[in-house]
Amino acid sequence: MSTRLVRLGNGLYTGEKSFNFVGKRMVWYTIGIALVIFMVVTTIARGGLVFGIEFRGGSEFRVSQPAVLEEQIGVDAVNTFVGVGSNPRASIVGGDSVRIQTEQLTQEETLDLRETLAGAYDVPVSQVTASFIGATWGQDVTNQALRGLVVFLILVFIVMALYFRTWKMSVAAMTALVHDVIITAGVYGVLGFEITPAAVIGFLTVLGYSLYDTVVVFDKVRENTSEVGESSTKTFAELANLAINQTLVRSINTSVVAVLPVGAILFIGSFLLGAGTLRDIALALFIGVLVGTYSSVFLAGPMYVHLRDNEPESQKLGIQRKRPQKQGSGAVR
């Protein structure tokens, strides 16, 4: 198996074997657009993204070592106390505690609900802790996060345009990046998971990974096409497609190395420890790494070629590729 993979990698790098990523770009565009539409529509149909208490504000109760480790008991207790429609959210954390989140309550209501939860779970009141986060603080966190994201994207666009000396690579990279973020966040919306600060950290990490993988592909594209002249026997699209194939094995290996430990953290955090923070970060990373690899290979590279199709240089290369070479003085006419 390893020998076959080595041969495949060598064949892709030398051009003996090649996948037509650029030629089938409309197929990849269709798949990407379909995934984005599915995620957006499904998330909206489910009522939109569910933000954690850190963003929306509210009261949080944690019952330590209850007699019965069951989420529904806490939900029923809150509904009985506050009234149906309060939309409490309960989850098991750490394998020995139940966390219940509600709308923000007054101090008196908080004390009373602590006693209600203690009775429902058959534990002393001292084993039920309460805290609350104001909606204003949560709104400030959201605004700062969005502002930071916009500034980050603008700076990345400028830096990539300067580094590669073309804004078209920046456009292709940003498009792939938006695709990755929408799909990663869409998984949270489709599955109904809360977007917490830990998940936001995962999203930001995904941005960095996706850009890294895209830059690797673009750097090879620039290397292959930087010294193209009239003597070239390949078109710009063929040279770009060769670059994508040459970096394919590296992208896959990098993704596998990243996904395996992240998958282990996701499994341990979700099923063994019940740690919400680990699960939130790992889920965003797991989905984002896979989607980021796909977009770098199937979207960013082909889109860059698409943006350059109408350039005189690219068209000239296409004409030169079709023009037969004449023997004689050694010059190519």
pLDDT tens digits for 123-174? 888 888 888 776 676 677 778 778 888 888 888 889 888 888 888 999 999 9
Angle at 312 between CA 211 and CA 168, to 5 degrees: 15
Lowest mean pLDDT among 9-23, 165-179, 279-293: 9-23
CATH 1.20.1640.10 range(s) for the chain read: 15-48+137-322
Number of C-beta neighbours around residue 88 at 10 A: 21
Nearest to 70 by CA among 101, 91, 94: 91
Cα separation values, 272 from 93, 259, 264, 268, Å: 10, 19, 11, 5
Which of 144 and 270 is assigned the larger pLDDT? 144
Q: What average pLDDT score do residues 242-254 get?
A: 85
The answer, yes or no, to whether residue 233 has pLDDT greater than 90, is: no
Cα separation values, 112 from 82, 107, 117, 118, Å: 10, 9, 9, 10
pLDDT in tens, 96-115: 788 888 887 878 888 888 88
Which residue type is seen at 229?
Answer: G
The answer, yes or no, to whether residue 120 has pLDDT greater than 50, is: yes
Which of 212 and 273 is assigned the larger pLDDT? 212
Instruction: Count how many residues are written for the chain.
Output: 333
Report how far residue 259's alpha carbon sits from residue 20's, in angstroms, rounded to the nearest whole number: 26
- Taking every pair of C-alpha atoms in the chain, what is the biggest distance, in angstroms? 98
What is the Cα 301 distance to its own chain's centre?
18
3-state secondary structure of 187: helix
The answer, yes or no, to whether residue 7 has pLDDT greater than 80, is: no
Residue-level pLDDT at 325: 45
Q: What average pLDDT score do residues 63-86 get?
A: 78
Which of 331 and 86 is assigned the larger pLDDT? 86
Residue-level pLDDT at 27: 93
CATH 3.30.70.3400 range(s) for the chain read: 58-133
CATH number of 15-48+137-322: 1.20.1640.10
Which of 174 and 269 is assigned the larger pLDDT? 174
Lowest mean pLDDT among 81-90, 215-224, 312-321, 322-331: 322-331
Q: Is residue 84 packed enough to be buried (19+ CB in 10 Å), middle (13-18) or exposed (0-12)? A: exposed
The answer, yes or no, to whether residue 14 has pLDDT greater than 60, is: yes
Highest mean pLDDT, choosing among 18-22, 88-92, 214-218, 234-238? 214-218
* Torsions phi, psi for 327 (to 5 deg): -85, 150
Q: What's the pLDDT band for 5 if we cut at 50, 70, 90?
A: low
Q: Is residue 241 packed enough to be buried (19+ CB in 10 Å), middle (13-18) or exposed (0-12)? A: buried
Rg (CA), the chain: 26
Q: Is residue 269 packed enough to be buried (19+ CB in 10 Å), middle (13-18) or exposed (0-12)? A: buried
Report how far residue 99's alpha carbon sits from residue 120's, in angstroms, rounded to the nearest whole number: 14
Residue-level pLDDT at 331: 38
Residue-level pLDDT at 227: 61
Residue-level pLDDT at 66: 84
Percent of the chain clearing pLDDT 70 (strictly above): 80
Q: What's the pLDDT band for 329 if we cut at 50, 70, 90?
A: very low
Structure tokens belonging to residue 125: 């009141």
For domain 58-133, say whether CATH 3.30.70.3400 is its number.
Answer: yes
Q: Mean pLDDT in the chain? A: 79
The answer, yes or no, to whether residue 84 has pLDDT greater than 60, is: no
pLDDT in tens, 26-41: 999 999 999 999 999 9
DSSP string covering 100-115: EEES---HHHHHHHHH
Q: What's the pLDDT band for 246 if we cut at 50, 70, 90?
A: confident
Q: Which strands form 97-102's sheet, in the order they lie side by side?
A: 89-93, 97-102, 58-64, 128-133
Residue 218: HSE in the Cβ half-sphere, 13 Å Cα cutoff? 27
Q: What average pLDDT score do residues 85-94 get?
A: 73
